[in-house]
Structure 1
């Protein structure tokens, strides 16, 4: 990619029409630099414009939702399980989810029919969330709906990690000893990314719970361990040997 851009810039330098009195080496080099930088600047401008509209405002992400729970819910942060006795399947959940996203001002994309997710929710500068749903249909119009949340890299995350890893490897290969501070700095950056990913997933999980609550789906609770009743052993009285002298 770099070589192709440089080749195009060199062709601009050779073919540019410049007035004879201004046709100098510096002018040709300036044309080459402009030809080389132009696609990069335009590409970054388009990307950051796209990124700005694909990010949810921080004030929206920082909000919190509360859904009353009667017990300890089943599932994990990445997986939610809901039950309905009225035939309410994942389409009811997705409809309530769309309403909630629009109501709060989230940025998102909808499955076009060829994606592996139902909704892609754009979060912060580093992560987005892919939401997948599936419903199991049981007897008497009962439905079990499962929701899966997955973190997805944003292009910015991959670029920053690629640059940081390249600099780290280059630095370690060109010094005689292991430089722990640079490794520690990258690990701190990785922990920062992990924290941002978990915070965003936790926020979206709250949205899913609230959307399910509005759609009339009930969160499946974990089974409480059944305490076994204590069995008391009956006391057995030891037979008392009769005194032979008492029989006389």
Structure 2
């Protein structure tokens, strides 16, 4: 019976090869009141559940690009979309704009922006207070449980002061805050900055785990430590020009 049951399951199981990509095409950005582009015709694509890394000199436009992806600024021209593909690798529907509500962003030294007195209050700081449906709050509560588990904070009391956590656990908390609503894209700006060697190794291991479920885009100078988990990489050159380039060995 057991063998026949397993056979039937295998026969009825249907594998879906559909997938989506973040697609940035010809993006330029000129700050209001200036004549100079900070980004010049930036184009790249990043497949879902993969990790992309952007590196380059300070001041080349990396953080500006992250801000555009997060919806904190709008491109002067170009498009930022999510495109879905079928198993024939052809688009199976029209591209949809990447909406800011589906993007999580963790800035460099995110712990500097913690405002609450407990871990629970910090994670739920942006939740609706008086308004908001029961269904929304239930969804957020489920997301909180999932996020806490995903980043390995289950051993930390939710009543603990977030400022009292170690550097590595502060980064975990910053990630959990962004994961509660399950973003289509998670952006990290210098996620290893300011951490000791053990915390850096822990964060790299965590990112390796998260990319199994999320699409990650990282800006970092720590190429050697992140190279083992990177799927694709680009160099941002001065003047805001992005070029695909393998990480240096």
Task: Point out which structure has higher relative CO (alpha carbons under 8 A, 6+ apart).
Answer: 2
Scaled by the length of structure 1, the TM-score of the pair is 0.22
Greater Cα radius of gyration, structure 1 or 2: 1
Greater fraction of residues in helix: 1
Greater fraction of residues in strand: 2
Scaled by the length of structure 2, the TM-score of the pair is 0.22
